[in-house]
């Protein structure tokens, strides 16, 4: 049977001349069946070239309208024939970060230390979801405050043969709103959906349909949820004028996992956001909820499901229902659990009072961190700047003549920089950059190297975005008190890697000096410094820094001082 199949296959390919071509100069009959199959596979389905596939992979950026999950899937598909092998995850991470369309997500990924592909995916998807949720909440707030979302579908005219132009507006009665003084075509309710018949083109007041009777298969219970943090079923902090010190946290175990829930006596049931539930307990099946939640602002929220959890508190165990909602803030411990769990109110009251009385003044903070404000140039610990060259082609430029009026000030500044360790005197160097003395307002001079004639043309310039004004306002939005910190000679606070110091050699009328710290005039200096300072301030809320200027704020005076202390 295999022989007959081979013969049929052979005859078919001979008729099309393909087999003759791939076996030339030999005849097809001289080849075995396996050899013919291999030749034809190589001819009809050749293996893609890894170089071309890597080119397509490196050129693939996130397209407009494409979600991050879709973009990641496309990158994995393109990487199949790239032969990355052990470096696959590293290549996927780099392409994900470099091809990202969202600048704020890209900046967040670049500031992350020891970023892996899995962590990059997790951060990107989370930030994309947060941005989408924030947009939905903002649009909802606009609708609740009276904004009208105009629908694109136009209402069909009641009578296409009407001669509205022949009527006087003061004698026409509009069938859309039962109002006068305008025609139906000019009525502002022509795109409105009727609350009675659900048809577009009129309002309930002018509806001529019989009112609908609500049909319910089973009764639905509504539960009021008066909650205290941002989210879909969570009240806003600004609406309740609450701060973090007003929140009471309860520590307990859910299914053996330590958890923290916010005590909320205004909540009839205990709830948790779905993403937090999945993160702690993985995939579990929910039973269908028997109620619809209602917030204090009369919003109706249908839970994703309900599940019984094992609750442990003070050596006691309970099996209690937990309602899971699609979106929300912290988990809430409601009245249904309070009826079952006897809380230790003495401990709770003592802990809450201890956090409430903590008050710190600005003078106490400044006195505590007075070493930060000494006149010497500070030094970043554990971080060094590295410079990368396109080609190692040393360039030596002789020293430029300094005017006699500035010579004494330049020599004084060189001695000061050498004394504080910023500069080191050297006898020879393959690199040498002339200096440019800049006269400051106080009469002293700042020494800058003219690196555009030596180092900058052959330097691989680091790329890192500076914060936009919209991002700055968004980060400090809601602040009531502000502190501004100006970093003294910020670049000089960043040490340079030992291998790169020779690149920063300057040529003066007093000989060669080598920078031990990042110098002014380096093309990569702004990006390196901005990335470094954002890495240091990562996780500090209410803080924004642009190069050497820093702003710290908070919604309350206490929160502002806490953020300031974290920065210092």
pLDDT tens string 230-243:
333 333 323 333 44
Q: Note the pTM of the prediction, 2 decimals.
A: 0.39
Asked if the peptide bond before residue 25 counts as cis, ω within 30 degrees of 0, the response is: yes
Residue 302 predicted with pLDDT over 50: yes
Q: What is the CA radius of gyration of the chain?
A: 35
Tokens at residue 263, please?
Answer: 């005590």
Q: What is the pLDDT of residues 399-442, one digit of tens each?
A: 888 888 888 999 998 998 888 888 999 998 999 999 988 888 88
Q: Give the pLDDT band of residue 376 (cuts 50, 70, 90).
A: confident
pLDDT of residue 52: 85
User: Using an 8 Å Cβ cutoff, are 508 and 435 in contact?
Assistant: yes
Residues above pLDDT 90, as percent of the chain: 8
Q: Give the pLDDT band of residue 210 (cuts 50, 70, 90).
A: low
- How many angstroms separate the CA atoms of 79 and 91, rounded? 9
Q: What is the pLDDT of residues 463-477, one digit of tens each?
A: 888 888 888 888 788
Residue 11 predicted with pLDDT over 50: no
Q: What is the pLDDT of residues 115-152, one digit of tens each?
A: 899 989 999 898 888 888 777 776 655 545 444 443 34
pLDDT of residue 514: 92
Tokens at residue 44, please?
Answer: 């009809």
Average pLDDT estimate for 374-398 = 85
Top pLDDT among 229 and 395 is at 395
User: Using an 8 Å Cβ cutoff, are 184 and 190 in contact?
Assistant: yes
**Residue 315 φ then ψ, to 5°:** 65, 15
DSSP string, 145-203: TT-----SSPPPPS-TT--GGGS-TTT-B-TTTS-BSS-STT-TTTTPBPTTT--BSS-
Q: What is the pLDDT of residues 544-559, one digit of tens each?
A: 888 888 899 888 888 8
How high is the mean pLDDT of the chain?
78
Top pLDDT among 10 and 544 is at 544
Beta strand segments in 370-440, E: 423-426, 433-439
């Amino acid at each position: 049977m295999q022989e007959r199949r081979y013969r049929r296959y052979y005859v078919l390919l001979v008729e099309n001349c393909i087999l003759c071509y791939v076996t030339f100069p030999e005849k097809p009959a001289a080849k075995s069946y396996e050899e013919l199959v291999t030749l034809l596979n190589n001819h009809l389905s050749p293996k893609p070239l890894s170089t071309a596939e890597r080119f397509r992979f490196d050129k693939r950026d996130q397209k407009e309208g494409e979600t991050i999950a879709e973009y990641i899937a496309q990158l994995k598909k393109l990487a199949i024939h790239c032969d990355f092998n052990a470096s696959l995850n590293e290549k996927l991470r780099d392409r994900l970060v470099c091809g990202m369309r969202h600048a704020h997500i890209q900046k967040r990924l670049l500031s992350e230390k020891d970023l892996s592909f899995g962590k990059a995916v997790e951060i990107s998807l989370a930030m994309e979801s947060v941005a989408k949720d924030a947009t939905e909440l903002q649009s909802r707030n606009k609708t609740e405050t009276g904004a009208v979302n105009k629908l694109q579908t136009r209402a069909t005219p009641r009578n296409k043969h009407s001669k509205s132009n022949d009527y006087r507006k003061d004698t026409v009665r509009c069938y859309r709103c039962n109002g006068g003084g305008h025609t139906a075509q000019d009525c502002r309710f022509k795109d409105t959906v009727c609350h009675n018949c659900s048809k577009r083109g009129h309002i309930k007041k002018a509806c001529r349909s019989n009112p609908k009777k609500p049909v319910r298969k089973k009764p639905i219970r509504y539960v009021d949820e008066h909650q205290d943090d941002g989210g879909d079923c969570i009240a806003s902090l600004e609406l309740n004028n609450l701060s973090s010190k007003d929140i009471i946290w309860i520590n307990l175990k859910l299914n053996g996992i330590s958890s923290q829930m916010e005590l909320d006596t205004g909540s009839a049931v205990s709830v948790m956001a779905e993403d937090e539930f999945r993160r702690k307990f993985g995939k579990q099946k929910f039973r269908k909820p028997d109620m619809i939640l209602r917030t204090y602002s009369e919003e109706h929220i249908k839970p994703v499901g309900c599940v019984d959890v094992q609750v442990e508190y003070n050596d006691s165990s309970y099996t209690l229902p937990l309602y899971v909602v699609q979106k929300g803030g912290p988990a809430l411990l409601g009245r249904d659990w309070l009826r079952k769990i006897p809380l230790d109110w003495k401990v709770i009251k003592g802990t809450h009072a201890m956090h409430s009385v903590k008050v710190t003044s600005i003078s106490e903070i400044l006195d505590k961190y007075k070493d930060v404000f000494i006149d010497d140039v500070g030094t970043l610990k554990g971080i060094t700047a590295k410079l990368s060259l396109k080609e190692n082609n040393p360039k030596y430029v002789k020293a430029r003549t300094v005017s006699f009026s500035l010579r004494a000030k330049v020599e004084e500044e060189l001695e000061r920089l050498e004394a504080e360790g910023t500069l080191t005197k050297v006898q020879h160097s393959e690199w040498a950059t002339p200096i440019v003395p800049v006269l400051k307002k106080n009469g002293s001079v700042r020494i800058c190297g003219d690196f555009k004639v030596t180092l900058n043309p052959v330097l691989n310039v680091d790329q890192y975005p500076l914060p936009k004004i919209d991002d700055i306002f968004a980060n400090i939005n809601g602040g009531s008190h502000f502190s501004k910190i100006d970093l003294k000679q910020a670049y000089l606070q960043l040490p340079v890697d030992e291998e790169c110091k020779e690149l920063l050699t300057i040529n003066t009328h007093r000989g060669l000096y080598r920078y031990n710290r990042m110098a002014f005039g380096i093309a990569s200096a702004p990006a390196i410094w901005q990335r470094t300072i954002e890495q240091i301030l990562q996780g500090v809320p209410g803080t924004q820094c642009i190069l050497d200027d820093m702003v710290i704020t908070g919604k309350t005076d206490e929160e502002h001082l806490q953020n300031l202390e974290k920065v210092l």
